[in-house]
Structure 1
Amino acid sequence: MPIFEYQCDDCGNEFEELVFDRDECPPCPKCASAKTSKLMSAVRSKVGGASPDSGSDSAPAPAASSSGCAGCSGGNCSSCH
Structure 2
Amino acid sequence: MSKRMIQKDYLEIFGIAIVGGLLLSTRSFSIGEFKSIVSYLLVMHCSVLGLLISYQNHKELLEIYNNPPKILNNNRHEALDKLVKN
Structure with bigger helix share is 2
TM-score normalised according to structure 2 size: 0.25
TM-score normalised according to structure 1 size: 0.26
